[in-house]
Amino acid sequence: MQTLPQLLDRLLAGAHAISRWAVYLGGGAILLSSFLISIDVLARRFFGLSTWGADELSYYALAVSTSWACAYTLLVRAHIRIDLVTAHLPGRSKAIFHIIALLGLGYMAFAASGAMYHVFLRSWTRGSTSITTLQTPLWIPQGLFLAGLLFFTLVTALILLRVVVAIVIERDVATVNRVAGSVSIAEETEHAIVEASELQKGNS
């Protein structure tokens, strides 16, 4: 039978896989919208035509991909962290600051999700559409954006719970730093070396 730490680790691994694919899809949507905008610009320049909607679709792609990227950025510990103080603290004191940071981030994610839910619900009940030629039902991009924020909130809660379990049950500060700490210079260097070696193997 799985222990609570093992269960949380599996959930975080699953969330990491989901968020990684969401980032791939979001990046693909941004590339596609950039391609459509390029076609639109060229069509206007040489043929006097327009695709009518490429710019609007790019707005949706950017917004939705951004909301889904928040969870992935948190899972890979890539959010901007000011660790001027925490870098010089002992393990347990540093873990407390990680919890405070996660609580603040979780509150922000929850508040943003709540605000976006009301916007989504209003568009859904009123049948609102964009004031463009596409007349896009606004609940579609807003719903995708809301789903990304909700997933971000869930991931933040999972990481916070994993940190609390590591401190209270496991007494393992190293796990706290691995899950919620900022990436150290040594870790960044090691990651860069691994990427460079893999790239070299691929080119050889």
Each domain of the chain, given as residue ranges in start order, spans 4-203
Stronger pLDDT, 159 or 181, i.e. the higher one = 159
> Quick check: 90 pLDDT over 70?
no
Residues 45-63 have pLDDT tens digits of 787 776 667 788 888 999 9
Q: How many whole angstroms separate alpha carbon 62 and alpha carbon 163? A: 31
Q: How many whole angstroms separate alpha carbon 178 and alpha carbon 166? A: 11
Instruction: Tell me what pLDDT residue 133 has.
Output: 78
- The alpha carbon dihedral of 64, 70, 73, 79 has a sign of positive
> Quick check: 142 pLDDT over 80?
yes
- Reported confidence tier of residue 190, pLDDT bands at 50, 70, 90: confident
Q: How many whole angstroms separate alpha carbon 169 and alpha carbon 147? A: 32
> Quick check: 184 pLDDT over 70?
no
Q: How many whole angstroms separate alpha carbon 96 and alpha carbon 168? A: 12
* Cβ(115)–Cβ(197) below 8 Å: no
Instruction: Tell me what pLDDT residue 66 has.
Output: 93
- Reported confidence tier of residue 204, pLDDT bands at 50, 70, 90: low
Stronger pLDDT, 136 or 173, i.e. the higher one = 136
Tokens of 30: 């941004």
Q: What is the 3-state secondary structure (H, E, C) of 74-122?
A: HHCCCCCCCCCCHHHCCHHHHHHHHHHHHHHHHHHHHHHHHHHHHHHHH
Instruction: Tell me what pLDDT residue 98 has.
Output: 84
Instruction: Tell me what pLDDT residue 202 has.
Output: 66
Instruction: Tell me what pLDDT residue 71 has.
Output: 94
> Quick check: 144 pLDDT over 70?
yes
Residues 174-183 have pLDDT tens digits of 788 888 877 6
Stronger pLDDT, 133 or 104, i.e. the higher one = 104
> Quick check: 189 pLDDT over 90?
no
